[in-house]
Chain A
Amino acid sequence: MSEEFKIEIINPEKYFLSKEDATEVIIPAFEGEMGILKDHISIISFLKPGIITINAKSGEDKFYVEDGIVEFKNNNLSVLTSSIFNLKEIEKNKLQDLLKKAEEEANKDEINDQAKYLADQKIEVLRSLN
């Protein structure tokens, strides 16, 4: 039996990515990283800023996401996200921009705990990329 399943990444503007031959996908779920293999139980979760790693027969892909929802059902993984960047294509100064923005956000005075947590996460991930 094959160990492959389908993954789709959709952002509001278009189908960002669609692959039929994913073998393992690691997503930064809100409560910790999560690896998804074939025949995982149906699950809905949301994402925190981090890296999505897709291992597929056709190669490995890495994406930086800031937020999103994941749904896994019937060996179909859908990721809905409004901000996603392919790490291969993204430029260094774009990453710097994102980092700067996140830092500004984290340093705001009137910020609630959750937003602060998310901003800190962003900074951490972006720093590790730079």
Chain B
Amino acid sequence: MASLDDLKKRIASVKSTQKITKAMKMVAAAKLRRAQESAEKGRPYSEKMNNIILNLSDGISDKENAPKLLSGSGNDKIHLCVIMTSDRGLCGGFNSNIIKKAKSYFAKLLKEGKNLKIITVGSKGNDQLKRAYGEKIIENISFKDSKHANYFDADKVGKIVIEKFNKEEFDVCTIFYNQFKNVITQIPQAQQIIPLKVENSVEDKSEDSYEFEPEEDEILGNLLPKNISTQIFKAMLENSASEQGSRMSAMDNATRNAGEMVDKLTIEYNRSRQAAITKELIEIISGAESL
């Protein structure tokens, strides 16, 4: 059995770890509120954007000449995956969930004989994928310096993706991120952004036709690149809310576990203290008896 002193030291160290996890939980909770708010505020923009694109692509008469970002390059050989993860650790299964989802998708692609290229956003994803898919990673982008997810950063990623598409470096682009449902549940998502899959939302279909100025395809040509950035931005917002939520629950668990451990150690400490006292008493009594 460990000595009393050792036990005392362990209890103290678990307690101070608990303090840290507790503080991290508080910080995550405060950040979560902000991140959640901005994720909610950002939704109307991407929804509206989606609606307009839906109306536009309905209006396009000749699908043959539709912009490539909408219709695709005609091939399905090279897949680009944008993996969006966090820059910081200690957030539970947040990063590994995305990676797991991405890896199963990679395996499927490689089995089908497709070519794979990876862009990682956030350093944690890069760390985890480096070993298995190191040679596939063509770029790693990290926004360690910016405190909040902002559109400017998303636009940077979007521009890189579009530039590569225009150079015909890939045919299909998918982004991976965690969708924020609530504090305990984050759903890893794979969303294809090139060629764009327009989701048919029936409610906002307009019967009346639009007037376009300039022509439809010109507007689409201008709008689609923006939409890519918008989708990436949306993913970033969802991700940052998910990250904080996941960190909060992970740290909550850690705090609770630390509490349990302190209890267990304290009992052990008391027991061995009692044992030492009893032992001493026995020694004294048997010493007295032998006299």
Contact = CB atoms under 8 A, between A and B. Distances in A.
Contact of B213 (A14, A29, A80): A29
Contacts of B226: 67, 69, 82
A10 B48 contact: yes
Given A12-B230, A12-B233, A42 B206 contact: yes
Interface stretch (B49-57, B102-110, B183-191, B274-282): B49-57
Contact of A44 (B46, B52, B155): B52
Contacts of A80: 45, 48-49, 52
Given A30-B214, A73-B206, A44 B219 contact: yes
Contact of B214 (A11, A31, A67): A31
A10 B45 contact: yes
Interface string B226-238: 1001100100000
A45 interface: yes
A25 to B, nearest CB: 15
Contacts, number: 75
Contacts of A41: 211
A45 B219 contact: yes
A15 to B, nearest CB: 6
A31 B222 CA distance: 14
Q: From DSSP, what is the main secondary structure of chain B's interface residues? A: helix
A11 B226 CA distance: 12
Contacts of B41: 13-15
A78 interface: yes
Contacts of B214: 30-31, 45
Nearest to B223: A69
A71 interface: yes
A12 B52 contact: no
A46 interface: yes
B209 interface: yes
Given A12-B233, A82-B226, A42 B48 contact: no
B42 interface: yes
Contacts of B211: 41-44
A34 to B, nearest CB: 8
Which interface residue of B44, B55, B223 has the most chain A CB atoms within 10 A?
Answer: B44
Nearest to A11: B45
B150 interface: yes
Contact of A46 (B45, B206, B222, B230): B222
B155 A82 contact: yes
A43 B155 contact: no
A23 to B, nearest CB: 21
Given A12-B151, A13-B41, A15-B41, A78 B48 contact: yes
A115 B155 CA distance: 16
Interface of A: 10-15, 29-31, 34, 41-46, 67, 69, 71, 73, 78, 80, 82
15 contacts: A12-B45, A15-B41, A15-B44, A31-B214, A34-B213, A43-B211, A45-B219, A67-B226, A69-B52, A73-B206, A73-B210, A78-B48, A80-B48, A82-B155, A82-B229
